[in-house]
Structure 1
Amino acid sequence: MRSHSAAPPAPGAFVTGTDTDVGKTLVSAILVKAWQADYWKPYQTGVADACSDTDTVAALLGPGGHTLHPPACILQAPLAPWAAARLEGVALNAADLRLPRTQAPLVVEGAGGLYVPIDERHMMLDLAARLGLPLVLVTRSTLGTINHTLLSLQALAARQLPVMGVIMNGPLSPGNRKALEHFGHTRILAEIPPLPRVDAAAIARMAAGIPPLASILPSPPPCRSQPDGITKNYTSAHPLPAQGFSNHKSI
């Protein structure tokens, strides 16, 4: 497993989702393009059946000078890191993971949802807390998203982790959007409708609708001690007008 040198958290985001295959990699590519950021997926599984998400992001971005940091661990089976590592006899410890050094904003893509296990003690939620980046939650726009999204937001709130907003992926659903904003007390950063073609041009078009990173970063109040060595306790930034992609198509 690759280990990165310790580095203070750079501005950026931890991209998580309500489920697997919900669109985190697509959203990560859009955010990297919008914020001229670096990309990092620390735990990559499933390369026996498909190309890595890092390769997918590289293809979606096209040429342009973005830095894509290599994963800390690459595993073959399309399973949670904890399960895939056990099959290969690999010992994982999320407590050893450090952010890569970068001068640019950093977009970190998680694996699956918040309660995907990484090792015997840590879930993806624990990794997000340890890395100290505010979160972007990717969710489906279709039936069932209200329950799944509110549960994920509740899990983040229970750990006092900062959420920059939600990105809805799928056919536009004004009703579900309104419900998530109202009951989740969150902003919808973007809605990504289905794309007939997913390529660098589409990513660039959608990135143009993303709010500037500085405008949505949460503001840190004075720190106080948290369990598991976590000291950050961010509150949300002032609400912003939600941005959408109603003139674009996506998946």
Structure 2
Amino acid sequence: MSSFPTLSQRLFVTGIGTDVGKTVAAAILTEALQADYWKPVQAGLEPTTDTATVRSLVRNPNSVFHPETYRLHLPASPHAAAAAEQVTIRAAAFQLPRTDNHLVVEGAGGLLVPLASGLLLVDVIQQLGLEVVVVSRNYLGSINHTLLTLEALRQRGIRVRGLLFNGEPTPATEDFIAQHTGVPVMPRLRTESVVSAETVSRYAAEFRQWFGL
């Protein structure tokens, strides 16, 4: 695949909550598309950042890892982490990295995570004009959280590129969500004891096929 595709994917990876697998999903999409990667807001720098994690999992020579717009030390909601450092997160600061390549953008938490007074993460997604990949993981309440996430995107007119289920299959849950929303379902990620570059490469092959590459 060319590192300068004519029709570039611009994908924002969000989750229905925290710890649902956004970073691994972002790494797989980055590897599958040989895309650039960007994490606009990083809250928490120790023991590592999401950018560093994705870089360690991606092997292709074409991906560029763009610097975060905001790097905050406190592992907390971005608005709280920014306040602790006397930083104000501003919508105008978010500009897409300059690249002709595909771009994978990873969020922080879910759609309605606050960045500053009057500014939510979904506002930035809308401002940047990105399509969204929603990562869902099965737990009690996950149907509600997934539907709420998809409904919030629908109300704002933000296109959902795909829904990615992470974890072991739960057909009753997943079939209901897919049929109720009509959102395209991407290849599944299963629970892995270890996530390595080899793991990411294996999944990336499935995603390349899904994208028709």
Same fold? TM cut 0.5: yes
| 1:177 corresponds to | 174
1:129 pairs with 2:121: no
1:35 pairs with 2:18: no
CA distance in 1: counterparts of 2:50 and 2:152, whole angstroms: 25
* Amino acid corresponding to residue 55 of structure 1 in structure 2: A
1:161 pairs with 2:153: no
Give the alignment of 1:188-227 within 5 angstroms: 188-211=185-208
1:95 pairs with 2:95: no
SS at match of 1:15: strand
Structure 1 residue 177, shift from structure 2 partner: 1.4
Give the alignment of 1:1-251 within 5 angstroms: 11-47=9-45, 49-62=46-59, 64-211=61-208
The question of whether the paired residues in 1 share the 8 Å contact of 2:34 and 2:62 is answered with no
CA distance in 1: counterparts of 2:19 and 2:211, whole angstroms: 28
CA distance in 2: counterparts of 1:62 and 1:126, whole angstroms: 32
Structure 1 residue 210, shift from structure 2 partner: 1.0
The question of whether the paired residues in 2 share the 8 Å contact of 1:15 and 1:138 is answered with yes
* Amino acid corresponding to residue 30 of structure 1 in structure 2: I
Structure 1 residue 62, shift from structure 2 partner: 3.7
The question of whether the paired residues in 2 share the 8 Å contact of 1:17 and 1:112 is answered with yes
| 2:4 corresponds to | none
Aligned residues: 207
Q: 1:140 to 1:27 in 2, by over 3 A?
A: same
The question of whether the paired residues in 2 share the 8 Å contact of 1:189 and 1:211 is answered with no
Structure 1 residue 52, shift from structure 2 partner: 0.3
1:136-158 superposed Cα distances (whole Å, 9 cap, x missing partner) = 00110333221110000000011
* Amino acid corresponding to residue 109 of structure 1 in structure 2: E
Q: More helix by proportion, 1 or 2?
A: 2
CA distance in 2: counterparts of 1:191 and 1:142, whole angstroms: 16
Q: 1:94 to 1:213 in 2, by over 3 A?
A: farther
Mind listing any 5+ residue stretches in structure 1 that lack a counterpart?
A: 1-8, 217-251
CA distance in 1: counterparts of 2:212 and 2:83, whole angstroms: 42
Q: 1:194 to 1:214 in 2, by over 3 A?
A: closer
SS at match of 1:203: helix
SS at match of 2:12: strand
CA distance in 1: counterparts of 2:61 and 2:208, whole angstroms: 20
CA distance in 1: counterparts of 2:135 and 2:141, whole angstroms: 14
Structure 2 length-normalised TM: 0.91
Sequence identity (%): 41
Structure 1 length-normalised TM: 0.78
CA distance in 2: counterparts of 1:201 and 1:211, whole angstroms: 15
Q: 1:15 to 1:189 in 2, by over 3 A?
A: same
RMSD (Å) for aligned C-alpha atoms: 1.8
CA distance in 1: counterparts of 2:34 and 2:59, whole angstroms: 13
Mind listing any 5+ residue stretches in structure 2 that lack a counterpart?
A: 1-6
CA distance in 2: counterparts of 1:12 and 1:143, whole angstroms: 31
CA distance in 1: counterparts of 2:189 and 2:11, whole angstroms: 18
The question of whether the paired residues in 2 share the 8 Å contact of 1:82 and 1:92 is answered with yes
CA distance in 2: counterparts of 1:153 and 1:95, whole angstroms: 25
Structure 1 residue 211, shift from structure 2 partner: 4.8
